[in-house]
Amino acid sequence: MGRPDDHSFAAKTELFYDLEQRLSPNWTFLSKAQYTKLRYDAAGYDSCFQFDIGATSGICSVDLANITSYTRNIENSVRGTFQTGPLHHTLLAGMSYGQTRLGSYNDVSASGSVIVPWPPSDLQLPPVAGPQNLITTDDTFYYTNFFLQDQVTWGRWHVLANVGYEQERNNFSTDTDSNGVEHDTSPPKNAPVYNLGVAYRLNENTALYANTFRSFTPGNTVLDATLNGGPPGVIVAPPTTGRSAEIGIKLDLLNKRMTFSAAVFRATHTNVLQAVGTQTTASTYIDYVLLPSTISRGLELNIAGRLMPGWNLTASYSYIAFQYAKPPGQDPEISQFPRHRANLWTTYDFQSEAWRGWGLGLGLTARSGYTAVPDTGVLGHIAGQTRTDASIYYKSRHWSTTLGIKNLFNRRLYSDFATSTVGVEPTRTLLLTNTFEF
């Protein structure tokens, strides 16, 4: 329970380049880099409750935090096209390197609580003198990825194979156990990843396809803990791995003015580390388990294209059956999702000479209801909802401008998923976007 005007604010600045340099008729050098500065601020109240039934005052915890980070990424690769017998290849090989440095981090959430009138309204966050920058060293994350990709065409067959080796590390993961011994708590740092896709064109307008991929997230190193009932000590959890498989069909319709696709998929998420016991004293241990796989199964339908001159349409529908991973002896719903989602977006470009360049857009985004279990532990139902968006735009040869309106009817809407909290979506929002080409 917080307040409606609790909020967060993010500001992002990006600089980037994207270069292609032909080396020969069949080989090209590719290079791209990006620099990003991100500042995030959050302000609000947390865990508000009334002193007593009918009381005119209560208590809230102050929640104030801000963080600034700087990210640099660079990727260099070569792309070549060649033929081996009946096989046509497009080969891509290269590496990427990135780092994210935490410039500042402040958090005064633990500064205590404040007395508030009840119900809490028209409050101002008190000027709490919290700790200074909590970063005492040059805290930086490092990422490296080596990759090799080959796209092969053989008659009606198309195969895309991508293999990579990802490495992640940081320079600040150390902690001290209950005996005063310092340990390196950096996670396992590397793992192979892959992506494999196959498509077969039945005829000029129909293609069948399938793909699968593997991903990973570094595991955690935890001190003074047990894992799956084993001996206490330093726990090094394996990486969390994700696997996905998809089979589908793609169709060209209305003389290739429209495309339609349908797919079924299955995705798993394995080796998520979760605490099942709470540390009560410095000499006791926290009990952890590696959760069994979460499993998502579903169906996706998509259609997009031009119905008639000036009238464009994009629509999609998805059904997702999500099976939660449950620790032994417990039945938590660690996250909740609606099973049905659908969206429709249509635009119309005026065809008359007097209104050439002008257009209108209208969209609907809908989902079914779902169940949420917030911090209170009380099972709650989040109703289904529909959001309406609209836009008006003008496009010329070298520039365009769009005025977009999200949540046109200013409805009170809730987020499309929940963990321990349920988010509230923004009210009516205006977006003005200008693009210049030169």
- Residue 174, pLDDT score: 78
- Residue 41, pLDDT score: 83
pTM over 0.75: yes
- Residue 139, pLDDT score: 83
Taking a C-beta distance cutoff of 8 angstroms, is the pair 350, 400 a contact? no
User: Which single residue is written with the structure tokens 């388990």?
Assistant: 289
Rounded to 5 degrees, φ, ψ at 355 are -110, 20
- Residue 128, pLDDT score: 46
CA-CA-CA-CA torsion sign (249, 254, 259, 260): negative
Rounded to 5 degrees, φ, ψ at 240 are -80, 125
CA 148, 154, 158, 160: dihedral to nearest 10 degrees?
-10
C-alpha 100/C-alpha 35 separation (Å) is 10
What does the buried/exposed string (b/e) look like for 12-29 if buried means 16 or more CB atoms within 10 Å of the residue's CB?
A: eeeeeeeeeeeeeeeebe
Q: What pLDDT tens digit does each residue of the chain (438 aa) get? A: 455 566 778 899 999 999 999 999 999 999 999 999 999 887 777 667 788 888 888 887 777 778 889 999 999 999 999 999 999 999 999 999 999 998 877 776 655 677 777 776 655 555 544 445 555 567 888 899 999 999 999 999 999 999 999 888 887 777 787 777 887 777 667 888 899 999 999 999 999 999 999 988 887 788 888 888 788 888 888 888 899 999 999 999 999 999 999 999 999 988 888 877 766 555 567 888 888 888 899 999 999 999 999 999 999 999 999 887 776 666 555 557 899 999 999 999 999 999 999 999 999 999 999 887 655 556 778 899 999 999 999 999 899 999 999 999 999 999 888 766 677 888 999 999 999 988
User: What residues does each domain of the chain span?
Assistant: 335-350+360-438
